[in-house]
Amino acid sequence: MNEVLKTMLERSSIRAYTEEKLTNEELESLKAAALSAPTAMNRQDQRFIFVTDDEKLKLFDESVLREIVESGNLDFAERIRSRGGSTTYHAPLIVIIVSKPAHFSRVDAGIAVENIALCAKSLGLDSVILGMPEGMFRGAHAEELMREFRFPDGFEFSIAIGVGHRAMDKAPHETDPKHIITV
């Protein structure tokens, strides 16, 4: 089987990570994967914020939960707390993808996050794609958090991904060939 397809089929969203840090070689490979993602009209209007500092990871995690609480979604906040309270599942790396607002910026970010996820899997790492952090970068504390995480001026949150060494097993999702429409 083709190695890329094999990697795609083996990947699943992992929601528990060990404390083991990523190596410099792993980080450099993930950065190369992010930068290799194509963008519409080759604009390259996205930046990749690699967060590995323990205090920043904690701030990120706490800020996501705080925004969920402040938005009034208390049932969802309680669900997160009942699962251990971490919205990042203690991943030792969070990559925040930020983009200049443009017609295809979300599509470009989706391509980049998939590149990172597949690269992680090919390195023996695992990942979880994170959409929940969007609220923290749009809520009451957004400006402060954007400064804290070094968003370039004029850039906004697109998507994030947690990467690390899995601390749980999870089978990849089942595929359904009926979802393919041939014309």
Structural domain includes residue 123: yes
Residue with tokens 């194509």: 38
- Residue 28 belongs to what H/E stretch? helix 24-35
Residue 124: strand pairing partners: none
Structural domain includes residue 180: no
Q: What is the pLDDT of residue 84?
A: 84
Q: Look up the domain containing 74 and give its range.
A: 3-168
Q: What is the pLDDT of residue 122?
A: 97
- pTM for the predicted model, two decimal places: 0.94
Per the structure, the count of domains in the chain is 1
Task: Give the pairing of strands 93-99 and 156-164.
Answer: antiparallel
Q: What is the pLDDT of residue 83?
A: 84
Q: Return the SS3 of 13.
A: strand
Low-confidence ranges of the chain (pLDDT < 50): none
β strands within the chain, DSSP E: 46-51, 93-99, 126-130, 156-164
Q: What is the pLDDT of residue 65?
A: 93
Structural domain includes residue 174: no
Q: What is the CATH number of the domain that holds 24?
A: 3.40.109.10
User: Is residue 84 left, alpha or beta, with left meaning phi > 0 and alpha meaning psi from -120 to 50?
Assistant: left
Structural domain includes residue 176: no
- The CA radius of gyration of the chain, in Å to the nearest whole number, is 17
Structural domain includes residue 156: yes
Structural domain includes residue 109: yes
